[in-house]
Structure 1
Amino acid sequence: MCGIVGGTLRGTLESGRLEAALESLHHRGPDSRGRWIAEDGASFLGHTRLSIIGLDNGSQPLSDHDGNVQMVVNGEFYGYRKIRENLQREGCQFKTDSDSEIALHLYLREGMNMCQHLRGEYAVLIADQRNRAMIAIRDRFGINPLYYAVHNGEVFFASEIKALLELGVPARWCPQALLQESYLVRPHSHSLFQGIYTVPPGHYAVAQNGQVSLYPYWDMDFPTAEELATDSRSDEEVVAGFREVLSDAISERMVADVEVASYLSGGIDSCAVLGLAQTMATKPIRAFTLAFDDALFDESALAEQQAKLCGANYNPVPVGANDLADYYSDAVWHAETPFVNGHGVAKYLLSRAVRDAGIKVVFTGEGADEMLGGYVPFRRDLLLYNSESQDPATVQRLLAEMRESNKAVPALVGNEGARCAELDLVERQLGFVPSWMEIFAGMGDKTRELFSADLTARVAGINPYAMSLARLPVASQMSGRDPLNQGLYSWSRIHLPNFILTFLSDRMEMAHSIEGRVPFLDTRVAEFSAHMPIHMKIKGMREKHVLREAARDVIIEEVYNREKHPFATPPAKASDNDGLYQLYADTFHSKALEDQPVFDPAAVRKAFAAMPDLPFEQQALLDNLLNRVLSMTLMHQRFGMSSP
């Protein structure tokens, strides 16, 4: 991965702004920097490089032969060798060995149809002086970040918000986004910063004359329920097909001029990726595992067994509450979005350990739950909405069993009961309420109770789900689909890019110049998974059934049989020896809490004071809330935010 920045201007770029923006992205590309400014000063590009392929000659920006088209790329294009060979046969001359250069030649030959050829994790900026335009492209799932802002008639793009701030865009809270963040339904095109947006996944943006227009080029395309019913493939054929596309995705992601390592937990996603990758490798893959001192959250023993089975090199990375506290603020600065748990900080520390081991590239397991129905809310959807003939008592018993077996993450399980009135809009549009929205609604209501009086007044009457649904193509991509697939689609288009791929993926890896490669979010894997029969995703109550069968020969028996346990760190414990609890105490009794405009300090302190007397499950739920307050307080402080 790399860092990219660019813009179209009314005048000229203020001296030092581009250099400051590039410096803010140094962690994304410490190996070299490149910059281009148009002769008339009306547009510019910048690039910080993390060299992975074409180590000696892959500097950017890339340019056509007469300099009219300039390009910077952040990411990796898989299958690039075949595309490069085809382009060379057609007369294209390459100046570098980098995979990035295929995008330049594809654009010159096919314009925006180039997007159909791109496969991987990427963000691209193109300055096309022939058309007086700047074009920004983001990968299909939003793995790589790409933000933009229109400020004083000028348009700026960047890999991270901090670079936009260095270019002169003000740092202000967005009230509506704060409300939507509380319910974890912030639209895929919005940030928490007023006037700063993301190029949505699977879209490209065209900036001309100080305006930005967005165009989709790909979307998750689930078959209708009727189309699913006509699938005549046997279960064995589906398993074999999934094994083939996943293996191909992993094989393509092993292409690099540097070592490729792997994250490893006790979950089937990372175990399957490592197991399959090791069958293709010529030497043991180095695998890195987070190790916690709380048995309810620690998976290091399972990870060690998995590494031993497949012949990988096992490397545990111990992380405790004091470590989380020490690096919490830095992790928030990199994430540019609030936390609900310390797991983002843990990933930050994991990527640091990988960097310190001299590694630049790792496999990660994100995306499997989105493709294959891994999370508890998806199983809940199956029970509630795909079980017309199911005995109601059996449904309630299975729901209770799910809650009992997921004590570490009660916020992802939820409790049956009253729901917020705003969800009525969701039910009217979709015909039901996806469980993930219903479960997170309780967290949103609790967060809202802590809002300051000013923010409460600003968001009064706003439905947090309205704009999120308005930005989804409900009629074309969700209507008529199986309820489980509707839940998967909405989660993948809202929660995956704005939350999971931010504080559990790209940002925490790139904080230490580590490129994460995500096989489960390969285009071919996603398209195969979308058209898979429902029972191959969740069979009975066993999630990701097809993955278990496809990877059975390369994973340990305990992982094959193990229920999904969402990744989380232990909650803070009310103790003088718990660093995270002390960070809460120090922050909530500091001027920093008084200065931020989002939460009412007195309400926060009252909630925090109640924590020691609560039972574990309620402490864990409160910990989610306190993480939000802590991280937003630190965001306000670190970014110099102004009030909404």
Structure 2
Amino acid sequence: MCGIFAAMTRNGIASSCVDRALSSLNHRGPDGHGTWTSSDKRWILGHTRLSIIGLSNGEQPMTSPDGKVHTVVNGEFYDYREIRERLRHDGCQFASDSDSEIALHLYQRDGMQVAPQLRGEFAVIIADERENTMIAIRDRFGIKPLYYSVVNGDVFFASEIKALLALGVPAAWDLQGALGGMARPHEQTEFAGINAVPQGCYAVAKDGTVRIYSYWDWEIPTADDMKRDNRTEAEVIAEFRSVLMDAVQQRLVADVEVASYLSGGIDSCAVLGLAQQAMARPIRAFTLTFDNPLYDEAAIAEKQAKFVGASYHPIPVTGRDIADSYSDAIWHSETQMFNGHGVAKYLLSKAVRDAGIKVVFTGEGADEMLGGYPFFRVDAVKHNPALSEAQKSALFAEILGTNEASRAIMLPNEVNSPATDAVRRRLGWVPTVVHTMESMSNGLAPFFSNDYAAYIHGHSPIVAALDRLPIGQRMTGRDHLNQSLYLYSKTALPNFILSYLGDRMEMAHSVEGRVPFLDHRVAEAAARIPVDMKVKGIREKHVLREATRDVLIPEVYNRQKHPFTTPPTRDKNDPMLAFYRDTFASQAAKDQPIYDMQKVNKALDKLLDCPDDERIAVEGGLQRIASVVVMQKKFGMS
């Protein structure tokens, strides 16, 4: 993994800005820096390198033999060896052993048909002097970040927003983006004039404009098509096992050690188990631990590691650790947080880096494909015609009872609002996750300043996101559960899961996360799995349990999903309470344009009065407010 940026300007850019951009991305690539500048000084590519494959000769930017096409790459391409051999057969000459070089030769040979041929997690920028064009390509799920901005006819791309700011893009609030959190349209950020290249898309920059084109989307069969699927359950399980195993094995390819993050959940346990089957040495597995037993998964993770032959490495994290690192984690995430879990991942990645690790497996993506979260299970039960109302009520009660740690966030009461009415008009029903997102947004409304409340009146982030999606092609006619999965994969997955729980917290410490579940071949197989094999009764990810049963301990195989969260504030001596007070009393708190801090401080005074099982949700709102204050200070927002 690396950091990349590009500038396509009319009059050039100061070398001091380029140096600042390189410095701002140093954490993404501490092993080397490189730039390419056009002869007229108006175009530039920048790269900071984290060397994983081709350690001795993979420097970037890379230039074509004719000197007309230049590229920088962040990420990993799988199957690259086979592609490289085919390209060599066609006459291409390679200058390095790096997987990144295949993008350059594929583009020269096939133009924009390069994108569908790339497999992995990646962001690519290509400067084509022949066509006077820059092209930026992002992987199918948005695992790797890629942003762009157009300022007075100059076009900028970068892995992180802070690099765009270093290149001269102004830092200002997008006040609608700031409202959305994980529900906003994926391309929208919290920074005015700065957008994300959407997942599965490429951007073409020419003559001071940027146009976006899709090259891949998650195609889920219609409910009628699913009824015509005559595969047996054993055949579905075998197919899923095969594609997942291939994705894991592809991600073992590296010239450095590959380790693994491990929780007590089935996703990371399955990935570790399959990876360990393919390895002769024990894989180092790293687990976050907490002193609150409701949130700690150390015992089950240690047992799982021992079962598959991995070596177990616990990483204890305290409230003091989270409070001390919160601001730094926000600077890296460039977005709001509603729980300390992002900070915990930041600390986990630091510990892994300190242990000498550059590459880790992570388990993200399975929940979004196979119905892992509680709100997906609610939809599966609610719209299952084979269940009576009494059976549904009993299953709903069981879902609530087994999610004590997270039900206040994941399973709030249904929300009736103009936004949910708008969703119902578009889809014909309201997915439970929409109620979850609306509840989070509504919980912040009492703290808005009068001016901000007036500005965003009538705006719904989730409706705005839905209106950007191809509902007719991708959602209409699908089972309710599959509609929910698609919606979540287009909003919360890139905005939240893959950002401040994924790449940004890993690369903050120069650690590359590899995500087997988000291999597009795995995703395409998952799309064809019958819904009752995704959620069977209330048992989520049934197909994954069966496909990986041989590498799971019984406790993991039989366990319900427990979303990863950090413990809420416990008492008046909790370090997070002091963090909130200091943050809310700062000058940045006075300067930010969104919240009325007098109202916020009154709510903070009452935090410890909340029942234990509700405090995590109330505190989630306070953490979002604290995030805004930190962003105001760290980025000098206007």
What code does the residue aligned with 1:119 have? R
State the distance in 2 between where 1:448 and 1:280 align: 51
Instruction: Tell me the residue number matched to 2:613.
Output: 617
Q: 2:312 aligns with which of 288, 311, 314?
A: 314
Instruction: Tell me the residue number matched to 2:495.
Output: 498
How many aligned residue pairs are there?
Answer: 638
5+ long unaligned stretches in structure 2:
none
Structure 1 position 120, deviation (Å):
0.2
Contact 2:34 / 2:46 at 8 angstroms: preserved in 1? yes
State the distance in 1 between where 2:405 and 2:267 align: 19
Structure 1 position 631, deviation (Å):
1.1
State the distance in 2 between where 1:415 and 1:318 align: 30
Structure 1 position 587, deviation (Å):
1.6
Q: 2:397 aligns with which of 400, 408, 420?
A: 400
State the distance in 2 between where 1:137 and 1:399 align: 42
What code does the residue aligned with 1:211 have? T
Matches of residues 11-90 of structure 1 in structure 2 within 5 Å? Answer: 11-90=11-90
Contact 1:419 / 1:442 at 8 angstroms: preserved in 2? no
State the distance in 2 between where 1:191 and 1:56 align: 37
Instruction: Tell me the residue number matched to 2:626.
Output: 630
RMSD: 1.0
Structure 1 position 342, deviation (Å):
0.1
State the distance in 2 between where 1:312 and 1:339 align: 32
Q: Please give the per-residue CA displacement for 1:187-237, whole angstroms capped at 9, x wherever unaligned.
A: 111110000000000000000011000000000000000000011111111
Instruction: Tell me the residue number matched to 1:190.
Output: 188
Matches of residues 113-192 of structure 1 in structure 2 within 5 Å? Answer: 113-181=113-181, 184-192=182-190
Structure 1 position 410, deviation (Å):
2.3
What code does the residue aligned with 1:28 have? R
Instruction: Tell me the residue number matched to 2:249.
Output: 251
Structure 1 position 412, deviation (Å):
3.8
Structure 1 position 255, deviation (Å):
0.2
Contact 1:34 / 1:48 at 8 angstroms: preserved in 2? yes
Instruction: Tell me the residue number matched to 2:526.
Output: 529
Q: Please give the per-residue CA displacement for 1:548-568, whole angstroms capped at 9, x wherever unaligned.
A: 011111111100000000000
State the distance in 2 between where 1:574 and 1:564 align: 28
What code does the residue aligned with 1:170 have? P
Q: Please give the per-residue CA displacement for 1:391-423, whole angstroms capped at 9, x wherever unaligned.
A: 223323322221221111124432444422211
- Is residue 475 of structure 1 aligned with residue 461 of structure 2? no
Structure 1 position 584, deviation (Å):
1.2
Instruction: Tell me the residue number matched to 1:569.
Output: 566
3-state secondary structure, aligned to 1:465: helix
Q: 2:347 aligns with which of 338, 346, 349?
A: 349
Instruction: Tell me the residue number matched to 2:94.
Output: 94
State the distance in 2 between where 1:540 and 1:304 align: 29
Q: 1:586 aligns with which of 576, 582, 588?
A: 582
Structure 1 position 20, deviation (Å):
0.5
Structure 1 position 603, deviation (Å):
1.0
State the distance in 1 between where 2:409 and 2:600 align: 23
State the distance in 2 between where 1:286 and 1:603 align: 47
State the distance in 1 between where 2:119 and 2:361 align: 16
Structure 1 position 56, deviation (Å):
0.2
State the distance in 2 between where 1:555 and 1:484 align: 26
Q: Please give the per-residue CA displacement for 1:74-114, whole angstroms capped at 9, x wherever unaligned.
A: 00000101001111111111000000001110000000101
Q: State the TM-score, normalizing by the size of structure 1.
A: 0.98
3-state secondary structure, aligned to 2:15: coil
Instruction: Tell me the residue number matched to 1:547.
Output: 544
Q: Please give the per-residue CA displacement for 1:40-94, whole angstroms capped at 9, x wherever unaligned.
A: 1221100000000000000001111121100000000001010011111111110
What code does the residue aligned with 2:385 have? E
Contact 1:411 / 1:439 at 8 angstroms: preserved in 2? no
Structure 1 position 359, deviation (Å):
0.7
Structure 1 position 594, deviation (Å):
1.7
State the distance in 2 between where 1:235 and 1:387 align: 19
Q: State the TM-score, normalizing by the size of structure 2.
A: 0.99
What code does the residue aligned with 2:610 have? L
Instruction: Tell me the residue number matched to 2:635.
Output: 639
Q: Please give the per-residue CA displacement for 1:407-464, whole angstroms capped at 9, x wherever unaligned.
A: 1112443244442221111111111111111122111111122111121111122233
Contact 2:8 / 2:156 at 8 angstroms: preserved in 1? yes
State the distance in 2 between where 1:105 and 1:267 align: 41
Structure 1 position 170, deviation (Å):
0.7
3-state secondary structure, aligned to 1:449: helix
Structure 1 position 389, deviation (Å):
4.5
Give the ranges of 4+ consecutive aligned residues of structure 1 lying more than 3 Å apart after TM superposition.
Answer: 415-418
- Is residue 451 of structure 1 aligned with residue 448 of structure 2? yes
State the distance in 2 between where 1:420 and 1:546 align: 36
3-state secondary structure, aligned to 1:429: helix
Contact 1:403 / 1:413 at 8 angstroms: preserved in 2? no
3-state secondary structure, aligned to 1:191: coil
Structure 1 position 152, deviation (Å):
1.4
State the distance in 1 between where 2:413 and 2:394 align: 12
5+ long unaligned stretches in structure 1:
none
- Is residue 112 of structure 1 aligned with residue 112 of structure 2? yes
What code does the residue aligned with 2:535 have? I
- Is residue 487 of structure 1 aligned with residue 484 of structure 2? yes
State the distance in 2 between where 1:488 and 1:534 align: 11
Q: 2:218 aligns with which of 212, 217, 220?
A: 220
Contact 1:412 / 1:440 at 8 angstroms: preserved in 2? no
Identity over aligned residues, as a percent? 56
What code does the residue aligned with 1:519 have? P
What code does the residue aligned with 1:554 have? V
State the distance in 1 between where 2:500 and 2:358 align: 19
Contact 1:411 / 1:440 at 8 angstroms: preserved in 2? no
3-state secondary structure, aligned to 2:217: coil
Structure 1 position 465, deviation (Å):
2.7
What code does the residue aligned with 1:66 have? D
What code does the residue aligned with 1:383 have? V
Matches of residues 238-387 of structure 1 in structure 2 within 5 Å? Answer: 238-384=236-382, 386-387=383-384
State the distance in 1 between where 2:127 and 2:4 align: 12
Q: Please give the per-residue CA displacement for 1:11-48, whole angstroms capped at 9, x wherever unaligned.
A: 11123111110100000000001101100122110000
Q: Please give the per-residue CA displacement for 1:572-618, whole angstroms capped at 9, x wherever unaligned.
A: 12322x11121112222333322211111011011111112121122
State the distance in 1 between where 2:416 and 2:179 align: 17
Contact 1:377 / 1:412 at 8 angstroms: preserved in 2? no
Contact 2:305 / 2:311 at 8 angstroms: preserved in 1? yes
Contact 1:134 / 1:206 at 8 angstroms: preserved in 2? yes
State the distance in 2 between where 1:457 and 1:426 align: 22
Contact 1:574 / 1:611 at 8 angstroms: preserved in 2? no
3-state secondary structure, aligned to 1:45: strand
State the distance in 2 between where 1:468 and 1:226 align: 27
Instruction: Tell me the residue number matched to 1:4.
Output: 4
Q: Name the stretch that deviates more: 406-415 or 80-89.
A: 406-415
3-state secondary structure, aligned to 2:490: helix
3-state secondary structure, aligned to 1:207: strand
Q: Please give the per-residue CA displacement for 1:310-331, whole angstroms capped at 9, x wherever unaligned.
A: 1101100000100000100000
